[in-house]
Structures are given as C-alpha cells and as structure tokens.
Amino acid sequence: MLRRLGLILALSFIAGMTAAGAAQAEHTCADPKSALGVERVVEIDASTGPLFGDLSGLTREESFLQPREVVLTFDDGPMPWITKSILDTLDRFCTKATFFSVGRMAIAYPATVKDVLSRGHTLGSHTWSHPLNLKRRGLDRAIDEIERGFSAIAMAAGQPIAPFFRFPGLSDSDPMLAHLQSRGIATFTVDVVSNDSYIGNADRLATYTLAQIDKRQGGIILFHDIKSATAKALPVVLAGLRQRGYKVVHMRPKAPVVPLDAYDADLEKLLVKSQPKATAVPSVIAASADASGPASHLLPFFGSPAVLKTLSGEDAEVTPISPPARVRAAATTGLHAEVGAQQERKSERVRSDQKVKPKRVKRATASEPSPFMMFGF
C-alpha cells in the first residue's frame, strides 16, 4: 500500500511539474518595474515536524528569515470573491504566498482552491472547521480536526498539498505537535499579526500592518483571505514593502503530505453537493494514480517550479532547510481526550447557566464573508 502511495505521489509530482509551466505562463508578471518579486524560495523538509514562528511558548526552530525578509500567509479561506482579489493582487506584484485553508471552506469552493495552486502559491491546512481552542477538545478530536482538514483540502485540490499546518488561534500544544511530527507535518505560527480580523478600514489596516512589519524588521505575516478589508489593503501593503526595501521569501515543501483515506467517503459526498453538475468526484489517490491517462490537469503541490524571479529579474535562490527532530511530550491519547472532554462539558455547563441569548447575525453578501468564518486567527 505504501509503495503504491509513493508511486502515486511521484507521478503526481512529475506530471505537475510539466503542467505548471503552462499555468505559470498564464500569470506572467505584467509590470516588472512595480513588482515585489520573490527573493528566495525556502524548501522545507517537514519530515521532522518542525515548528516555525515567534508567537508560541513551545520549543521552536530558529527563524529562516534574514532581516527585512517577509513571508506572506493567508488563513481561513478560500472565499472566492475575496481570495480571487488577493490572488490578482499577488499576480500584479509578481509575488507568492502560502494559504492555510479551512477544510470545509475548501470543499465548498474547490475551484478557488485549484486557482490558488495554479497561480504558483503554496497550500497548507488550518483544520477542518477552525475550532478556536483545539487543545481543549481532547487529543482524539483534535487529531480528527487536523487530519480531516488535510484530507478535505487535498480532495478539493485534486492533488497532494504541502505538509504545512497552522493552529486556529495559534492554540498549539506539545501532544498535538507530537502527532504532527509523527505525520511529517511542519507547523507555522506567526511573527507579525496584521490584525485584519479587527480592523475593518483598509487604510488603517495597511498603515497598522506596515508599522508592525517595521517594528520587527520583517517576519511571517498573518492575513486572512476572508476579509474584504484585507483584499483592499493588500496593494498598499505590498507597495509599501517594496518602497521600504523588504524582500519576499516563498515557502514550499520538499515533499507533500499523505492524506488519510479514512475520510474519503464522507468528503466525496460533500464535494459532490458543492458541485451539483458533477457526476463523480475522484479522490486524490484516484486522480493521481491513473498513469495511463492524460495528467495535464495536475499541478505540483507547492505551486510553480523554480521560475520565480527577484526584483533584478534573476531566478530566486532556493534554500533547503532540514530541521532536526525534537522530542515532544506526547500525551496518552485516551487520558488526554477524557481531560479535554471534561473541560468542554464544564464549559458547556457554565454557558448554559449564564443563559446567554444568541446574537442575530446578518447573512453573507458578495462583499462580506459569512459571520461563522470571522475567526480571528
């Protein structure tokens, strides 16, 4: 089984490298003079389950960024009418980003997921449904959220994705990181929070974000591709980065994540519902395994091959990173789950005693994301 899976991933990778050339041509930089470009590509070996980023109290890796280098990341999407605007802006500035998508959003909008990859960006996971405090759910349920998210996004993409993960609310723990480590998945927190979850004015958002970047002199930046203000502010932010002399570093993995097939049946049903005209939904494995048929629809899991350009027009340097394995304090699954369940039951009783009335929420419009997706991180 593992040998077959390895062959499948290899076929997907090779076919994707060929197809990506055509996709790259469709998104050629229109105005190199105003471009931000990509200074470096960091190719991360996620097999040891490293943790990157400053906003975590747990043991993490040294930053791979130099002063005045930034990584652009977007959480919580895709949301077509916002994500597309962000993708267009990134194309305009000839630069790349990493998208940490939510599984159920990916299943709802698979065309946008494919668009992210076709434009040369990296796609990772942000769980299945974005629970804000994952570590309080118990280890079993947390692992289910993590694994279902990866499976859903890979299925929506129709190909393997990056073994890159970000905790909702940055709510990490050593037991959960130990699981991710066992699966060869790298975790990313952030260095710079744009605060786009709370700043709804695009001008103020751009000013605040650039000030925070200047304060840290770069870092991994957190945005959300479900916020209309983010889409409006992004051109100003990217222009400001260029004017200030910051360089973009793009992340991609050395190898893809291998999603678990236990979720395929349920996810396929949901994916069919999101595409009324679809007669069949091939799983990631099935779509990649047909070596006898055309493979031109496949794209590499990390986006475009090494054709990214610096501001001077040179090919971006590729820096491989292979962090050493760290010992994480893995909890006994059943015990951890029971403790988490007890905490959750206690919280539910408190909420019930308080008898808080539900707030009215307005329905989503074409310019605003659905209220249930207003996550914060």
Provide the pLDDT for residue 338.
42
Closest by CA position to 328, among listed 180, 183, 178: 178
Tell me, yes or no, whether 336 lies in a domain. no
Q: What are the two backbone dihedrals, phi and then psi, of residue 286, each rounded to the nearest 5 degrees?
A: -65, -40
For residue 351, is it within any domain? no
Angle between helices 110-118 and 80-92 (to 10 degrees): 10
Is there a domain that residue 370 lies in?
A: no
pLDDT band at 34 (very low <50, low <70, confident <90, very high): confident
In this predicted structure, what is the pLDDT of residue 27? 52
| 30 pLDDT higher than 60 | yes
Q: What's the pLDDT at 315? A: 81
Q: Give the CATH number, domain containing residue 17.
A: 3.20.20.370
pLDDT reported for residue 226? 95
pLDDT at 361 over 50: no
pLDDT of residue 61: 94
More confident residue, 171 or 354: 171
Helix (H) or strand (E) holding 220: strand 218-224
For β-strands 247-253 and 218-224, DSSP reports them as unpaired
Q: pLDDT by residue (tens digit) across 286-326?
A: 333 333 332 223 333 344 444 677 676 678 889 999 999 88
What is the SS3 assignment for 6?
A: helix
pLDDT at 307: 60
More confident residue, 309 or 335: 309
In a domain, residue 373? The reply is no
Domain assignment of residue 67, yes or no: yes
Give me the domain span that covers residue 195: 2-321
pLDDT at 275: 78
For the chain, what is the domain count? 1
CB 51 within 8 A of CB 189: yes
**Interval 142-200: pLDDT, tens:** 999 999 999 999 999 999 999 999 999 988 999 999 999 999 999 999 999 999 999 99
Report the relative pairing of strands 40-44 and 317-321 from DSSP bridges: parallel
For residue 210, is pLDDT > 80?
yes
Residues 1-26, mean pLDDT to the nearest whole number: 44
Residue 328 lies in a domain: no
Q: Is residue 242 part of a domain?
A: yes
Establish if 54 belongs to a structural domain: yes
Query: 107 or 27: which carries more pLDDT confidence?
Result: 107
Mean pLDDT of 28-53: 88
Q: Which residue has the higher pLDDT, 340 or 221?
A: 221
Higher pLDDT, 278 or 297: 278
DSSP annotation of 367 reads T
* Residue 331 pLDDT greater than 70, yes or no: no
User: Quick one: DSSP state of residue 234?
Assistant: H
Read off the pLDDT of each residue in 329-333 and give the average, rounded to a whole number.
Answer: 59
